[in-house]
Structure 1
Amino acid sequence: MTEQRERVDVGQWASGSQIERDLELTDADFTRVRELIYQRAGIVLAEHKREMVYSRLAKRLRHHGMTRFGDYLARLERQPDAKEWEAFTNALTTNLTAFFREAHHFPLLAEHIKDKQGPVSVWCSAASTGEEPYSIAMTLLETLGGRASQSSVIATDIDTDALNKARKGVYPQEQVRKLEEARVKRFFQKGTGNHLGLARVRPEVSTLVEFLPMNLLAPQWPVKGPFDVIFCRNIMIYFDKDTQAKILKRFAPLLKPDGLLFAGHSENFSYISDAFKLRGQTVYTLANK
């Protein structure tokens, strides 16, 4: 395929006009971006993600005063341990989340842990900006009461920028208002003054959650099981089947014999791994328990 300088519409479809981008992204550059993010994080970028790649990585090029993606990628490849790899990966990671997203999972979590003796441990393997692990922690508090203080939520993600936001636990009030009023009053502090319009997760919630950077493709994981529950929701969709199978194989020994694995609404692990069997709607248990 002949390499051509990227020309795309920037929002003027009505007039039919197009404006040439100020940075050069060739077909070969886009292919290399796809290869590098797959090697680094297992993320599969489809052909139609070219626009996203340009808009997100263009910020990194401008930060370094560069005008060609080829030069930026060459620098990355020359420095395999450079800090810029973290920024590259963060830029291409998608963070779509919300409090109590896929709400049917949380009553199932509560039912599973309510009679547990001793501390409950939960691993959220795609923590994003924190809404999911904090929702898990709130469920622990609602279900276990005082016993929740003995329990823990390990929250991991490859995107370090997202994790930094998660650790702060501060969110727009309009996002929090979608929750039941009782939960908002119990688990959030309303911002005032310079923080007007924001809400912070209360310490009783945040102290249950530990955030750790982690690449699911890394040879060593900074988590130790076994866990009562593993949340792996809406992350497998970014991997190919081989990568999904490898990750699920590594999940199995980290889950207690009666543990639960929660998947995203569009994910089906039944045909990927024989380590797990479907128990209910996107909920799995170990196949050999």
Structure 2
Amino acid sequence: MKALRDCDTPILQGLSDAEFAQFGALIRDRTGIRLTPSKRAHMEGKLRKRAAFLGLANVSDYSRMVFDRGGLEAELDALIHLATTNKTDFFREKLHFDLFDKSLLPALLAARPRGLAPRLKVWSAAASNGAEAYTAAMVLAEAAKRGPPFDFAVLGTDVSSEMVAEARRAIYPATMIAPVPEPLRLRYFLQQRSTGNLAQVRVVPELRQRVRFQQLNLIDEKLPIDRDVDVIFLRNVLIYFDPPTQKAVVRRLAKHLRPSGVLILGHTEAAIGNGMGFEQIGTGVFRVA
């Protein structure tokens, strides 16, 4: 029987310590996101798939292509997407949307001058595939129907260009809208023809017209965003930054709120907003003077 030799089997070359550190430094410098050791195996799996997609033998070949052979700029968007965690849901952390509907919106409208219907601006600052932005738009549309009347616009931004494109398409698996109350599902989603066995839905055009998306990096010193935003959702993204970056991002975004505007952090990030001179009005919810 022939002895098994190394050359008789494919070599699955893993991500070396140096390579992981190199990718980690790149992602941290470009996005602020920390690739902690706990993310190593997950990141390596994603890099393997990317290498295979490009016809490369392993992650080391991919690493050399990116860092030694001038492939960084061409691959940067793909690498940023691989490094981001795109977990999101409609009506995620529903208590925030209940507060937004029942308390924040009435207060914001009452603070506006009487006369013409005001225009409210809401920013979903880590929008992922758009579920949070479209949830905010649904809440706003329902409130505008009840009155008093107002206009509104929602902006969704994300560091991943792939997520921005997905959000603009506004097409989701039908199972993903299970958290949406049934009346809103019927009003704001269209049934799409299934792809294989997967039923899909799409946000109705009337709501899509109220929401726009753009790629944006939260660690950039200057952000091309209006400075009279009423509510900013900054949820479940700060946990991927180190503490100094967390504080810097919160301060930077707070400058884009109008006086008495509201900043909403994720439930697990609520403590980050403490001690920053904001008025806390709910778990992770702060009014900025």
What's the CA shift for 1:255? Answer: 1.0
Whether the 8 Å contact between 1:120 and 1:150 is mirrored in structure 2 is yes
> Would the alpha carbon gap of residues 32 and 256 (structure 1) be closer, same or farther in structure 2, given more than 3 Å must change?
same
- 2:204 is aligned with 1:202: yes
What's the CA shift for 1:71? Answer: 4.3
The match for 1:83 is: 74
Give 1:92-241 correspondences, 5 Å limit. Answer: 92-110=83-101, 111-114=103-106, 116=109, 117=112, 118-145=118-145, 150-192=151-193, 197-241=199-243
* Cα distance in 1, alignment partners of residues 105 and 96 from structure 2: 13
* Cα distance in 1, alignment partners of residues 232 and 64 from structure 2: 38
> Would the alpha carbon gap of residues 68 and 245 (structure 1) be closer, same or farther in structure 2, given more than 3 Å must change?
same
Whether the 8 Å contact between 1:229 and 1:259 is mirrored in structure 2 is yes
* Cα distance in 1, alignment partners of residues 278 and 74 from structure 2: 37
Structure 1 portions without partners, runs of 5+: 1-18
- 2:50 is aligned with 1:48: no
Q: Give a deviation string over 1:129-173, Cα, whole Å, max 9, x none.
A: 011000000010011128877311110001111111111111111
Whether the 8 Å contact between 2:31 and 2:217 is mirrored in structure 1 is yes
Report the number of matched residues.
269
Which segment is superposed worse, 169-178 or 143-152? 143-152
* Cα distance in 1, alignment partners of residues 45 and 240 from structure 2: 19
> Would the alpha carbon gap of residues 269 and 248 (structure 1) be closer, same or farther in structure 2, given more than 3 Å must change?
farther
The match for 1:285 is: 287
Secondary structure of residue in 2 paired with 1:65: coil
The match for 2:26 is: 36
> Would the alpha carbon gap of residues 245 and 21 (structure 1) be closer, same or farther in structure 2, given more than 3 Å must change?
farther
TM-score by length of structure 1 reads 0.85
Whether the 8 Å contact between 1:155 and 1:212 is mirrored in structure 2 is yes
Whether the 8 Å contact between 1:140 and 1:148 is mirrored in structure 2 is no
What's the CA shift for 1:269? Answer: 4.1
TM-score by length of structure 2 reads 0.85
Q: Segments of 4+ in structure 1 off by > 6 A?
A: 146-149
Whether the 8 Å contact between 1:23 and 1:58 is mirrored in structure 2 is no
Query: What is the letter of the counterpart of residue 164 of structure 2?
Result: L
* Cα distance in 1, alignment partners of residues 88 and 194 from structure 2: 27
> Would the alpha carbon gap of residues 280 and 96 (structure 1) be closer, same or farther in structure 2, given more than 3 Å must change?
same
Q: Give a deviation string over 1:155-213, Cα, whole Å, max 9, x none.
A: 00011111111111111112223322111111111123658711110112111111000
* Cα distance in 1, alignment partners of residues 10 and 194 from structure 2: 43
* Cα distance in 2, alignment partners of residues 200 and 215 from structure 1: 27
* Cα distance in 2, alignment partners of residues 127 and 83 from structure 1: 24
The match for 2:259 is: 257
What's the CA shift for 1:84? Answer: 0.8
> Would the alpha carbon gap of residues 119 and 219 (structure 1) be closer, same or farther in structure 2, given more than 3 Å must change?
same
The match for 1:247 is: 249
Whether the 8 Å contact between 1:249 and 1:275 is mirrored in structure 2 is no
Whether the 8 Å contact between 1:99 and 1:132 is mirrored in structure 2 is yes
What's the CA shift for 1:60? Answer: 2.0
Structure 2 portions without partners, runs of 5+: 1-8, 113-117
